[in-house]
Chains A and B, each alone.
Chain A
Amino acid sequence: MADMSLEDAKHGQQQFLSFIMANEEYGVDILSVQEIRGWEPTTVLPNAPDYVKGVINLRGTIVPIIDLRQKFGIKSLEYGTTTVVIVVKVTMEDAQKIIGIVVDAVSDVFSIEEDEIRRAPDFGHETDLRFIKGLANVQDKMVILLEINRLLGSAILPDPDTLSRILDNIDQQSQALSA
């Protein structure tokens, strides 16, 4: 099957790891995923934003952990044994950084043709939505594909309220699609 994936790459196919957060499915480029771990207590960083949960020791490297729910302005869940941390490699300002993101659960790995990715709907207002790479339909589900470098990088995210409104909008749209 190794040949297959090589072929896939040639034809502009991309593989995504999808995860679930607040009943929404998101996808990140699988090449940026380094590993998936369970939640473990972190060392809290003083004066850090709420969504930065602290740092952990990942085999000798100090890795910050970010709660994606809080980054999106969604209410954080109580962390438990099923809480998952996806460790991703992000390129920020030409430097590679390793960051862990807390999500509700990991869902699936799927391949998508480049032309199957629909652009995120334009919401008209001056919200920077470049952290959303696009939308994709996978087995009748809508997955929001995230541009991880922009999401965690220097780009300023819209404020949590706007963001959750946008996410609601996307949600409605996907329901309209499936209807």
Chain B
Amino acid sequence: MDIDLSQFSQVFFEESIEGLAAMESELLKLDVDAPDPETINTIFRAAHSIKGGSATFGFMAVANYTHLLETLLDEIRDGRRRMTPDHVDMLLHSVDLLRGMIDSLMNKSEFNDPKLPQLEQRLAQALASNNAPETSQPEPAESSAAPVASDADSAIEDCWYIDFKAGFDIMRCGNDPLLMFAELEAKGEVQVSLLPPQFPAWDDFDPEGCYLHWQLKVITDAPQKSLQEVFEWVEDECEISYQRGCSTVTGEALQAADDTVDTQVGAISQAGAVSQAAVLGQSISQSTSQSVNQSQAATPIAGSSLPTATAVTPIEKAPQAQAAKQAASAKNAESSSIRVSTEKIDMLINMVGELVITQAMLGQIGQQEEINQESLLLLQQGLEQLASHTRDLQESVMQIRMLPISFAFNRFPRLVRDIGQQLGKKVELVLKGEDTELDKTVLEKIVDPMVHLVRNSLDHGLELPEARLARGKSETGTITLNAFHQGGCIVIEIVDDGAGLNTEKILMKARQKGLVGPDEELPEESIHQLIFKPGFSTADTVSDLSGRGVGMDVVKRNIHELNGTIELRSEAGKGSRFTIRLPLTLAILDGQLIRIGKHIYVVPLVSIYESLQVPSNRINKLSDGHELIRLRDEYLPVIKVFREFNHDADAKEIKDGLVMVVDNNNEKTGLLVDELLAQQQVVIKSLEDNYTRIPGISGATILGDGTVALIIDVAGLVNLAGISNSKEHAA
């Protein structure tokens, strides 16, 4: 019989990733000179949970490494070691490393990052160096105890003392201690001694019960875990404690230690109490769940009384996930599961309750023999209630998918710190509106574009400290991330107070690349738009940060895929502001219903500028069959939707119908439609689930009468119509 732990490992991965995010954000908050004990505690708890979890699942590399971290953090927490910026740096790198390790575990791939041994060495060195605060007077034993602790899991041949008090019902459950001892024997040399059994009076004696208590001495190179495995099935009902000695000690010493341990082990089993265990150093007791603090308190004593006993911190079965739960994790947003606050669920349950009541009421009316004036009134009321409950329910269900944007924002302090250091720039990051909620899917997809924009601001936007001072600005640059709701959209702003866009340089590059004619002059606004063109970069040197010119166009495309828009405003010398506008959710869309012939389509409201009738004197026909209309001072191509979709329409000529001006990648395009119908929110359904993609159609929705309406994909329609670049036609 074997429990398949792998089904739980996903939970471990998620919790670890959250834990790492918590560690990271706390580390960044940490004031090195005066560390807040609570902050260090949080970091410690996160490391500890990861260690516990990884050991449980047998991910020893992770467990061993976090053990080192934990030791270091523990010393800092106890005030035995002063925090240095170097520590913070090391810990941050460790977070990255652990993330990599967990990623590779998730993907079941081999992890061999050369950084692992390097960091391990650095940590070990840091642990070995004596850097205690002057205020406290460390005992020499402490500093020696710590390094020993760090290789607690290594494979020197060890001597283990196991105190095994069999549970009363052990035989009844089909477990035979003899078999377990035999299994231990397979791992190394075993000495078993039976303590004098304490039988009850004859009348109370249960012949099927077990009254025995053994002490075992095992000399083995197997890790503790494998010893624990032997007792895995009985550990809940038996009292088992493990105490580690060392076989390298010479005979006499061993004997002496043996005696001490024997008596002390006896002491534990008698009292079975944690306080006694402390005398023995850090022993692991699985029958009593020991708290971290208690075992920590034990360390100094262990160091002095039993120098050879190595310390092993207890493995806690229940991970301390609270800290991790509170900490928002950017990575978590990418996993397929979602954490929902109980509050939201309670709200849902409430609403479903209301719904059930309304349903019962309507059912009652339905059972009446005849419908009279009175029951009709009740029916109408019931239906009204039903409608309102359904709406509320829909809203709360959508709420479940909503996550605060802090999930995305949280990764930026680290990013800004690292890149700022790399570039030698002083940066302050200001986060605003972190509680603004948006759909999980949108959130996941917006992170990468945001990272790109922030990197750009750091790299191109902000100046070096000297340059800033020379311009009369403060030495430290500011990048602000701001999120807020505005009219059914979420707006995310990325603002820097750097140099702003260099319009001359952009124009020069654009001319070099042939995006702009040599003599063509553009208004500043249009110059700024150039940076969104594919292959455009003004960076003089290509760095790993930015400058490859595969950036802004991708950013823009990604945002467009989310039905969002991006705007840029920049002022030379003062900074730039990117404004991203996104729909709150991908599942619901504000749509304008239109009719073309017998067909009803939905056009996303965000992409519509205006709709108008165009008199024939403002329509121009091109030689290739495309038609342009003149709208104020612009020429727009018009797509005859009915022709692209191969069906009939009332208005076959532009002058007979309505032209709806829509946005296609910041360029205006007209769609010829017959009639505008209602505006309404529509739930987006996939066509691809049961059919295939249709060019020009992004999905379908179900209208109030139960029929299906197709949602028009403007960009796809433009492709279908074969209009490559409206600007070229206009020029």
Contact = CB atoms under 8 A, between A and B. Distances in A.
B694 interface: yes
B687 interface: yes
B349 to A, nearest CB: 22
Given A57-B702, A62-B700, A46 B645 contact: yes
A49 to B, nearest CB: 11
Given A46-B696, A46-B697, A56-B708, A62 B687 contact: yes
Contact of B686 (A43, A54, A62, A98): A62
A48 interface: yes
B647 A46 contact: yes
Contacts of B702: 57, 60, 62
A61 B690 contact: yes
30 contacts: A41-B707, A42-B708, A43-B700, A43-B709, A43-B710, A45-B687, A45-B691, A45-B694, A46-B696, A46-B697, A46-B710, A47-B645, A47-B695, A47-B696, A48-B694, A54-B708, A55-B691, A57-B702, A61-B685, A61-B689, A61-B690, A62-B689, A62-B691, A62-B708, A63-B690, A64-B690, A64-B691, A97-B689, A97-B691, A99-B690
Contacts of A109: none
A55 B708 contact: yes
A36 B493 CA distance: 53
Interface residues of B, number: 22
A44 interface: yes
B382 to A, nearest CB: 23
A82 to B, nearest CB: 22
Interface in A29-57: 41-48, 52, 54-57
Interface residues of A, number: 21
B486 interface: no
A62 B682 CA distance: 14
Contacts, number: 62
Among A42, A46, A57, A98: residue with most chain B CB under 10 A: A46
Contact of B647 (A44, A62, A97): A44
A45 B691 CA distance: 10
Given A45-B694, A61-B689, A98-B690, 14 more contacts: A45-B691, A46-B645, A46-B646, A46-B647, A46-B696, A47-B694, A47-B696, A55-B708, A60-B702, A61-B690, A62-B687, A62-B689, A62-B700, A97-B689
Nearest to B642: A46
Contact of B690 (A42, A43, A54, A97): A97
Contact of A44 (B599, B686, B695): B599
A62 B709 contact: no
Interface string B674-714: 00000000000111011100111100101000111110000
Given A45-B710, A46-B644, A46-B645, A62 B694 contact: no
Contacts of B696: 46-47
Interface of B: 599, 644-647, 685-687, 689-691, 694-697, 700, 702, 706-710
A168 B221 CA distance: 79
A43 B708 contact: yes
A61 to B, nearest CB: 7
A41 B706 CA distance: 11
B707 A43 contact: yes
A60 B685 CA distance: 8
A46 B700 CA distance: 12
Contacts of A55: 687, 691, 700, 708
Contacts of A43: 599, 700, 707-710
A48 to B, nearest CB: 7
Contacts of B646: 46-47
A129 to B, nearest CB: 24
B696 to A, nearest CB: 7
Nearest to B597: A44
B151 to A, nearest CB: 49
B683 to A, nearest CB: 9
A42 to B, nearest CB: 8
A44 B690 CA distance: 15
Nearest to B705: A57
A165 to B, nearest CB: 29
Contacts of A52: 691
Nearest to B696: A46
Contacts of A45: 687, 691, 694, 697, 710
A44 to B, nearest CB: 7
Contacts of A98: 690
Contacts of B709: 43
